[in-house]
Amino acid sequence: MSGADLLGSLSDETLTRRAQRGDTAAFDVLVQRHAPAVHRFVARTMPERSDCDDIVQESLIAAWKALPTFAFRSSLRTWLFSIASRKTADVLRRRAPVVDSEAVDEAAASGPGPVERATDRDFLDALGRELGRLPYPARAAWWLREVDGLSVAEIAGVLRTTEGSVRGHLQRTRQRLAEALGEYWP
């Protein structure tokens, strides 16, 4: 078994402990394992897709720098989501987007007809649009729960909020999506 194969067979905890001692190869394996999920999370919670790669890269650099202080109070995966969430929120805060209600109304009015709405792609596009209209914490909570399968407690840690707040975000988001996307349900 080669060195790379051996590292790949180690647990996240073992790799993290090795990386904390400066083992860059162990950190590379952790990045290979978790970067795709972190990228998906950032891509789905960041309106500007062009910023995703930069945010993920900044998150991984921040993780490397902060790794000596990682205390294993959460899983490494949850910790990486937490860093990416903060980096994404920082970018969104700096931008303070202005919503053009006329453009939103125009986009909704020019949507596809009933035949086109029947495809999965149209549903996913509509879902993406609705999620994009939500405030970042609600969008991030929904994505972390429904796609990445994190628990409410883990999401609260990632978003640095309470479990009650996460439950509220999830409940309101699910209700909003059910109402907005009702035409896709049989």
CATH of the domain at 145: 1.10.10.10
Q: For position 117, what pLDDT does the model report?
A: 40
Helix (H) or strand (E) holding 34: helix 24-45
Do 125 and 86 lie in one domain? The reply is no
pLDDT of residue 186: 59
Q: What are the structure tokens assigned to 169, written together? A: 């975000």
What per-residue confidence (pLDDT) applies to 96? 57
Query: What string of pLDDT tens digits covers the 186 residues of the chain?
Result: 556 678 888 999 999 999 999 999 999 999 999 999 999 999 988 877 788 999 999 999 999 999 999 999 889 999 999 999 999 988 888 875 444 445 444 444 545 444 444 456 777 888 888 888 999 999 999 999 998 899 999 999 999 999 999 999 999 999 999 888 888 765
Tell me whether residue 79 is in a domain. Answer: yes
CA distance 130 to 180: 7
CATH code (residue 71): 1.10.1740.10
Q: How many residues does the chain have?
A: 186
E-strand ranges in the chain read: none
Number of domains composing the chain:
2
